[in-house]
Amino acid sequence: RRQALISRLKSETDVNLMFVESICNDRDIINRNIKLKTHSPDYVGIDPDAAEADFRARLRNYERAYRTIGAAEERLDVQYCKIIDVGKKVIAYNIQGFLESQVVFYLMNMNLEPRVIYITRHGESEDNAAGRIGGDASLSAGGEQYARALARFIDRRRLDFAVEVEEYNRQVAQSLCSTASSTPGTCSEAESAGAHSTAADALRLEQSLLSRRVQPGFEVWTSMLKRTMETAEYFDPHIYRVKNIKSLNEIYAGKCEGMTYQEIARDFPEEFEARQLDKFYYRYPGIGGESYADVVLRLQQVIVELERIRHSVLLVTHRAMARTLLAYFMDIPTTHMPDMELPLGYVYACEPRPFGNHLRVWRYVPHLDDFEEIDAAAALRIRYPQTLPSSTSAPPLPSPAETAYSARN
């Protein structure tokens, strides 16, 4: 099959071929992943024991038929990347071109550690209350209240997630102990080394899994603007490492910084109309003005770091940044990204899982001074732009959710 692909694509002048091969020799990882596979879409509605037996049979077939990439491909100058034991060792051969090198870089920074990436906008600022975009205003009284509540909420979630991970690891380990006790030698069939698996192996795995707690490090990342740094002021520095990152600054509006949308429509009507027509590529006028496309490039290294880290992190950032990050993690097209409604006062929790990222959403309730969980699918709403107004009619204004907590709408 590999040779057929190489021969077929040789005639395509605008297609570059690169193979990616994943090899795992770590017994603990193999057995853990087999358990995860029994919950994959392939085995919906199937008894877990039957699903596991079927998947182990698949592995035996793969081992008999599969031939690893090596000298034969190298003689043909094929590009390839081998990932061994989930990134412990990476081999890159004949990598040429920007995209190929970026793929290798990305694969080198992935990991399977349990963690949550929390994303929230800063607390309400004085400019938010006035309906002004950009700027570097401090928090309002409501924003200060949100900052205190956010620190308490993340404290609880950090501990709750540690318990969730420990309980999951315990269940997986107990299941593997049961499997190894009832069907000795099963685990070894999934391994190319052919080592014998016993109940003692499963007990060792149980100890390994139960020793894997959520990493003690929990970071809080903010932009370099006052409203995000002030939102993070209530986190205990002995527990949370706070980083201020310029790449997380809000999209820069150039000449429109500090203006309301009404003022932009009045003073820059052509710019206002151009932005309505294409929010993703529209760049604000003036020195340093940015577009969403610019923001995507600016956040590339932040995203790679989020893929690399092995512990949970909270990003306290801005609307355009939150839209971009959530679009990446939840696979939302860039055509919809600029129109995502992400109000102040919401916390979005992305948990990387084997079959995609799982999203949970909490909303701050001011009169309770606490958060309540809401339906994640309903929370990620797309507010499509309406037909452009005539030059004599009032311009469409942003929804109140963009500048104030939803409880005030």
Residues taking part in catalysis: 121-122, 128, 227, 250, 318
Amino acid identity for residue 279 in this structure:
K
CA distances from 137 to 89, 127, 258 (A): 47, 6, 9
Question: 395 φ, ψ to 5°?
Answer: -70, 150
For residues 397 and 260, give the distance between their C-alpha atoms in angstroms, rounded to a whole number. 9
Instruction: Identify which of 117, 112, 116 has the alpha carbon closest to the alpha carbon of residue 22.
Output: 112
CA distances from 388 to 183, 238, 253, 274, 396 (A): 68, 51, 21, 10, 8
For residues 338 and 9, give the distance between their C-alpha atoms in angstroms, rounded to a whole number. 37
* Consecutive H or E run containing 83: strand 79-84
Name the pairing type of β-strands 18-23 and 117-121: unpaired
Place of tokens 């956010």: 150
CA distances from 340 to 81, 87, 291, 353, 384 (A): 36, 34, 16, 23, 8
Query: Which residues contact residue 18 at a Cβ distance below 8 angstroms, ignoring those fewer than 6 apart?
Result: 78, 79, 80, 81, 95, 100, 103
Q: Please list the helix, strand and coil fractions of the chain in percent, rounded to the nearest 5, in that order.
A: 45, 15, 35
CA distances from 50 to 129, 140, 174, 307 (A): 58, 58, 17, 33
DSSP letter for 148, please: H
Query: Which residues contact residue 397 at a Cβ distance below 8 angstroms, ignoring those fewer than 6 apart?
Result: 261, 262
